Amino acid sequence: MKYVLGITNNLSQSLQRKDQDIVNAMEMVKEIKQELQAYRLNEFDSLLKEKEKTGITNLHYYEFENFNTVLDMQIQELGNRFNEVTTELLMCMGSLSPDGNFSAFNKKQYVKVGGDVSE
């Protein structure tokens, strides 16, 4: 719980900053979602060793009733709030920023229907 709340708290704090760049914020959300998913898939064994619990009953209880449930809820919540369409829209909006003479603008990113886009 400390790990999950720690990384999601850092994300929450960053997203609340008024000077946060949309593109960076969406990248941060994507990274946290990936980190939570990797943690869910790979870190349960280390958690068991840390708690020094043994037996199938404890394994099942901690992995399926607590560990995976908490991580699934966090991943789902981030996915609901920042789905693919929303994230792509925010990334596109962020690239319209005049900072750096529109250096983040990518014409191919906006034209997805139709033929080839020449530069």
Other C-beta atoms lying within 10 Å of the C-beta of residue 117: 12
- Mean pLDDT check: name the lowest of 21-30, 32-41, 49-58, 63-72: 49-58
Q: Please check the confidence at residue 56 and state whether its pLDDT lies above 60.
A: no
Return the pLDDT at 117.
45
Mean pLDDT along residues 78-89: 83
Mean pLDDT along residues 37-41: 86
Take residue 80 and report the two structure tokens written for it.
Answer: 């609901």
Q: Please check the confidence at residue 119 and state whether its pLDDT lies above 60.
A: no
Please tell me which residue, 90 or 110, carries the higher pLDDT value: 90
pTM equals: 0.49
Exposure string (b/e) for 2-37, b if CB count within 10 Å is 16 or more?
Answer: eebeebbeebeeeeeeeeeebbebbebbeebbeebe
Residues 71, 76, 81, 83, CA torsion sign = positive
Return the pLDDT at 49.
67
pLDDT tens string 13-36: 888 887 778 888 888 888 988 988
Mean pLDDT along residues 51-71: 70
